Amino acid sequence: MTISELKMIETPGGEISYRENGSGPILLLMHGIGGNSRSWKSQLETLSNNFRVIAWDAPAYGKSAKRGANLEEYTAAVIEFLDALSITTVNLLGHSMGGVVAQGVAGFHPDRVTKLILSSTFMGHGLAEGTPLGEGYNARLEDIKNMSPDEFGRARASSMLAKSASSVTRQEVASIAAEVTHSGLLAACKMLHHADTRDLATKFKMPVLVLTGEQDGVVIPARSKEMASLIPEVQMEQLSGVGHAGYLENSNKFNLALENFLNA
């Protein structure tokens, strides 16, 4: 399976890199803090039979320009990206960090989102400006400074995956995480540290699917369930036997859940 080529597009806030494949209704995929547009290799290949699948690189990931480290700036980047591509509405999937951003897009710009999929995500930490980052984020930032990219990638893969994950999947997740930069990670940590989507979630007008990984130790299912309890029109599905990277650990099951929801 080959990955779609990396493309670039100019927006008012700077260039954004992305990958796309297929035609039809648009499905925009937004990766997590340890990912990038390569994370969605299976979805770009398989779901492109029925959708125009677009996977972006978040600010300071891939070749995307850096933005301000807050939810409003990340949300603005998504809207500018869609506008640059002349896209009015999308089916939107956000995973982990991308799920927090997706909630910002769906909450601040509900007319742009047809259906919303929130994968292994939560509502942000909602901490005030000026409060120090949590120990977990500081530990990751120390790791990325002190480890080689390969070492950092392997460490992230170890925390993201279920014990049963194949060696091929481990290598894939590690190679993607190895491409994360300190500037991208720092901005993402700050954004998540301050973001709070509680009020937004209660006002979603579109259908929402919340996916969790049974063995996810990064965003435990209980945190996603708390988020889902606030959403008016929501479905929940837990993927058995996977950790935080269900889109790669069991892409068949993950993709089927997406197709069933989007085609309903």
Mean pLDDT over each residue of the chain, to the nearest integer: 97
- How confident is the model over 190-195, as a mean pLDDT? 98
How far is C-alpha 125 from the geometric centre of its chain's CA atoms? 16
Residue 67 confidence (pLDDT): 97
Q: Give CA–CA dist 37/3, Å, rounded.
A: 10
**Contacts (Cβ under 8 Å, ≥6 apart) of 191:** 69, 70, 71, 73, 74, 97, 100, 101
Q: How far is CA 66 from CA 87, 89, 140, 179, 190, in A?
A: 22, 24, 19, 15, 13
Per-residue pLDDT band at 30 (split at 50, 70, 90): very high
How far is C-alpha 59 from the geometric centre of its chain's CA atoms? 12
- The tens digit of pLDDT for each residue in 49-90 reads 999 999 999 999 999 999 999 999 999 999 999 999 999 999
pTM above threshold 0.85 = yes
Name the residue ranges covered by the structural domains of the chain. 7-263
Categorise residue 22: left if φ over 0, alpha if ψ from -120 to 50, beta otherwise. left
Q: Kind of pairing, strands 26-30 and 14-21?
A: unpaired
Residue 1 confidence (pLDDT): 65
**Which of 122-126, 127-131, 137-141, 259-263 is the least confident region?**
127-131
Per-residue pLDDT band at 2 (split at 50, 70, 90): confident
Q: How far is CA 94 from CA 154, 162, 196, 219, in A?
A: 23, 20, 15, 13
Which CATH code fits 7-263?
3.40.50.1820
Q: Give CA–CA dist 102/99, Å, rounded.
A: 5
Considering the chain, what percentage of its residues have pLDDT values greater than 90?
A: 98
Two structure tokens written together for 53: 């699948």
Neighbour count for residue 27 (Cβ, 10 Å): 27
- How confident is the model over 187-192, as a mean pLDDT? 98
Two structure tokens written together for 57: 């690189």
Q: What is the dihedral of CA 40, 42, 45, 47, to 10 degrees?
A: -90
Per-residue pLDDT band at 227 (split at 50, 70, 90): very high
Beta-bridged to residue 238, according to DSSP, are 212
Beta-bridged to residue 95, according to DSSP, are 119
- The tens digit of pLDDT for each residue in 131-144 reads 999 999 999 999 99
